[in-house]
Amino acid sequence: MHLTPAQQAAITYVEKYALGRREQAREAIEEVRAMCNATPAQVAHTLWAIRIYGRAVLHFHPDRLDNQGRSVTQSLPECGHYRNQSETGVSSGKLSPHRGGPRDVWENQLFGGGYAATGIAAAERPKYGALDLLRHPDGPAPRFGSCYLVLKPVVCGRCTFSYLDSHRNPAERGTLAILEDIFAASQVIISFKV
């Protein structure tokens, strides 16, 4: 899928941001690794497994009505794709799809103003989801909807990630390529046999 200049700018910003925090994150990972008596190979394998097996998931409430009076389950097949809150007027979090609203402010902070330029179409704005690692039947973030879509593996390569909810402007951010900051924040070392 082709990324727009705004989307690419947002991803590039997060990637550069995460690179700036990578060494600090690696130190934190090493500290946790030593405390759990895990090997460096186990840590490396865990990061590899997240990159290979993690899936982006979009939760939604199927019965919510969009700005045209259609339920999410009606509009999905009609549109042929999942739309963000700027397009639908539906949110499972803070609904503020307008310029200058709370979501616009925190998106500008999270993405370095990547979506701040005039002329950015509503469809270019972020879609929010969660990284699914455990395959729980209710999905990784059920509070954002009782239904969810599991996206193709390739989608993770064009995602940005934050530790905890993005509306809090979390310090820990990354991309699939630069995931250490997120991994360090979780303070979890999964023990895999390598």
Cβ neighbours of residue 88 under 8 Å, at least 6 residues apart?
A: 66, 67, 72, 75
Domain membership flag for residue 16 = yes
* Reported pTM: 0.89
Domain membership flag for residue 193 = no
How many structural domains is the chain composed of?
1
Angle at 106 between CA 5 and CA 155, to 5 degrees: 45
Would you give the distance in Å from CA 71 to the centre of its chain? 24
Q: Which of 81, 92, 191, 90 is nearest to 143 (CA)?
A: 92
Domain membership flag for residue 161 = yes
Domain membership flag for residue 194 = no
Q: How far apart are CA 94 and CA 29, in angstroms?
A: 32
Domain membership flag for residue 86 = yes
Query: In the prediction, which pLDDT does 1 show?
Result: 67
Residue position matching structure tokens 């990159």:
51
The domain in which residue 122 lies consists of: 5-186
Domain membership flag for residue 191 = no
pLDDT at 36 over 80: yes
Q: How far apart are CA 68 and CA 89, in angstroms?
A: 9
Domain membership flag for residue 66 = yes
Query: In the prediction, which pLDDT does 194 show?
Result: 39
**pLDDT tens per residue, range 98-133:** 778 888 888 899 999 988 888 899 899 999 999 999
Higher pLDDT, 98 or 154: 154
pLDDT at 176 over 90: yes
Cβ neighbours of residue 44 under 8 Å, at least 6 residues apart?
A: none
Domain membership flag for residue 128 = yes
